[in-house]
Structure 1
């Protein structure tokens, strides 16, 4: 993973390559500490099966040099081809729906066993632009961890809003993180709103370590009634051996008539094909090698405009230590960030103040869950530019 380092107020802002399919010599695996599996098993030795791991803290040896906010953002703005523009240019509602399904699959990114990004701090932000697409994320809750995302493209007249709440649980030999929250994509020129959810993260510890996406993703267009059901499967047997990995199977149908139009089959890290139920024709709707390979680290266009809450600024010291494999310095850097957050919380408590997000209006109900509404209609251009 290539690291770009830029001086800022005696700190270094580190801009790393996004997670992608390409297996390179400088991949995220190089950040792992020795004896990874043994260390991981020792972490969970006192954790009971079924436990909620939301508040579980990983030592720096298990961290990638980037925040979870960056990973969420990368899945939207880091693509080698402009799938969002393709969504907008579809001639018919069905053409646009198929393109939205392909775009949704593209947000599924590779994960590595044994390493994870940082848990974002309250109020942390990530602000990046790619072409005409401006993306902004904010950590709007710490316990439970909730992230809000807003992205806009004025040229294509596209808007994206997400809310994400990972709920990881330990099951003895595995960890599964349910990713709660609603994803919404609006093609404003066509008056179409697409709603979808996220698959869950699955980490197998024994007998064969591995990581994958599992679960069901539903994608629906409110106005046209078109629906896609995608089933993500690891493909492993009970013992973690054999089978076909990273599988997607599903269908596209009309919700009013329940008529199946296309059957979907493939792998999210390779290709996904659709078969026309009427004439049997097969076409590739998604090719991962064309979309999530050859991705480059972003660049810093305007150093002075980087907010103090920006992920790469908040975690700069820790990221430097991880890249250098200086684990003692990494532990100290992580403690500095965590203690500062505890100090701010004590200050708010002493004044009787509640923390309020800066970029979103946030509410919660048992019926709806977390609702994160952007304060502004459009996201501004960012000082960090994705290539």
Structure 2
């Protein structure tokens, strides 16, 4: 990865989304509910909100690309490497299930990251794990990710498109696309889907993850199904919106091997259906509590397209709650994006991603393949 460097290039890095403290707690605003409800009064049910632009008061000080990346590299422990350490295919799939759950992070009502601009990138390393993301399409917004760990022989490739729609009393954000985890030393590939994000305005404002997640390994004929849902309390009122229930089973026969139950923000247990033994599959407090933000190790290695560079002025203003400055800085980013698009249209230039090959598939989705076989070390790092 080479580019003519600018020594004074500046990046603003903020705390990741974390179970305790972190960005979600730092930027919670007391009057956010009233402001969000007022903002959406004029939006009609069924409206596609893909191109809807939020004022900076509703933004987290980071891009959506950074949030995607953080779900991979910001974690306490080494859950991803555990996937390759399993001695049996069942142990490895079980570890992949735990890792999949660890990528679900808490979001506060009324807060959203910046929409990435076309060609925006995010490049971070954690130990021998190198993660690279690129915004490969703007209309519709499609993000691609490639992560490699040469020591653990693990590779992650995904291409996804978040599609939000307003349903009157809520916004449902469906994540289209596929995440693939390759355990190279075992010759196994795992296909993973992700839950949808529900943003509810009435009767009680809040956010929750919902829907069915499927994880499948064709080489081992093993599969997992997880249902993210609300667990109801007495008479079906209240309850915890972070419940997870599921199973691990054989794809061909449907035979259930393990049962899964719990809450993604606390503990999730797994039961061996043959022996009856119950064990802890995932502990959120150990995995995603009190996470530390990335640090800039090599300023001269930053690309001009790096998320932390593109949104530096806006993020800094949002952190300082200087909304006038944030509004001006955000408008500057958006106007530059529109100008570049107009210049390409005028010259007939066809834009192409820098790090991925992108093709539409027959289902109306996208397929992204990384150009390089491995991701190089990044100028931004996370402590192990």
TM-score (norm 1): 0.94
Instruction: Please point out which of 121, 134, 147 is paired with 1:125.
Output: 121
Distance in 2 separating the partners of 1:349 and 1:236: 53
TM-superposed CA distance for 1:15, in Å, is: 1.2
* Residue 321 in structure 1 maps to residue 311 in structure 2: no
* Pair 1:355–1:240, CA change in 2 (3 A): farther
Instruction: Please point out which of 182, 185, 206 is paired with 2:181.
Output: 185
Instruction: Please point out which of 29, 51, 59 is paired with 1:55.
Output: 51
Contact 2:21–2:290 (8 Å) recurs in 1: no
TM-superposed CA distance for 1:35, in Å, is: 2.5
Instruction: Please point out which of 16, 19, 33 is paired with 1:18.
Output: 16
Distance in 2 separating the partners of 1:229 and 1:49: 31
Distance in 2 separating the partners of 1:36 and 1:9: 39
Contact 2:9–2:299 (8 Å) recurs in 1: no
Contact 2:9–2:302 (8 Å) recurs in 1: no
How do 1:49-128 and structure 2 match up within 5 A? 49-128=45-124
Equivalent position SS for 1:16: coil
Contact 2:135–2:143 (8 Å) recurs in 1: yes
Distance in 2 separating the partners of 1:33 and 1:259: 48
TM-score (norm 2): 0.95
Instruction: Deviation per CA, 1:92-127: give whole Å up to 9, x if none.
Output: 111111011111111111111100000000000000
Instruction: Please point out which of 331, 351, 355 is paired with 2:351.
Output: 355
How do 1:195-274 and structure 2 match up within 5 A? 195-235=191-231, 241-274=237-270
Distance in 1 separating the partners of 2:240 and 2:339: 49
* Pair 1:134–1:240, CA change in 2 (3 A): farther
Instruction: Please point out which of 136, 144, 152 is paired with 1:156.
Output: 152
Q: Which residue of 1 aligns with 2:272?
A: 276
CA RMSD of the aligned region, Å? 1.7
Distance in 2 separating the partners of 1:228 and 1:105: 12
Q: Which residue of 1 aligns with 2:136?
A: 140
Aligned length: 377
Q: Which residue of 1 aligns with 2:3?
A: none
Distance in 2 separating the partners of 1:55 and 1:111: 20
Distance in 1 separating the partners of 2:88 and 2:348: 54
Provide structure 1 residue ranges, at least 5 long, that are not aligned to the other structure.
Answer: 1-7
Contact 1:64–1:117 (8 Å) recurs in 2: yes
* Pair 1:152–1:240, CA change in 2 (3 A): farther
* Residue 39 in structure 1 maps to residue 35 in structure 2: yes
TM-superposed CA distance for 1:10, in Å, is: 6.3
Distance in 1 separating the partners of 2:358 and 2:107: 29
TM-superposed CA distance for 1:234, in Å, is: 3.0
* Pair 1:262–1:125, CA change in 2 (3 A): same
Instruction: Please point out which of 293, 297, 300 is paired with 2:293.
Output: 297
TM-superposed CA distance for 1:131, in Å, is: 0.3
How do 1:338-377 and structure 2 match up within 5 A? 338-367=334-363, 369-377=365-373
* Pair 1:91–1:111, CA change in 2 (3 A): same
TM-superposed CA distance for 1:206, in Å, is: 1.5
Q: Which residue of 2 aligns with 1:4?
A: none
TM-superposed CA distance for 1:367, in Å, is: 2.0
More deviation in 79-88 or 68-77? 79-88
Instruction: Deviation per CA, 1:244-277: give whole Å up to 9, x if none.
Output: 2300000100112211001110111111111111
* Ranges of 4+ aligned residues in structure 1 off by more than 6 Å: 8-11
Distance in 2 separating the partners of 1:241 and 1:118: 34
Instruction: Please point out which of 172, 178, 187 is paired with 1:176.
Output: 172
Provide structure 2 residue ranges, at least 5 long, that are not aligned to the other structure.
Answer: 1-5
Contact 2:7–2:300 (8 Å) recurs in 1: no
Contact 1:302–1:384 (8 Å) recurs in 2: yes
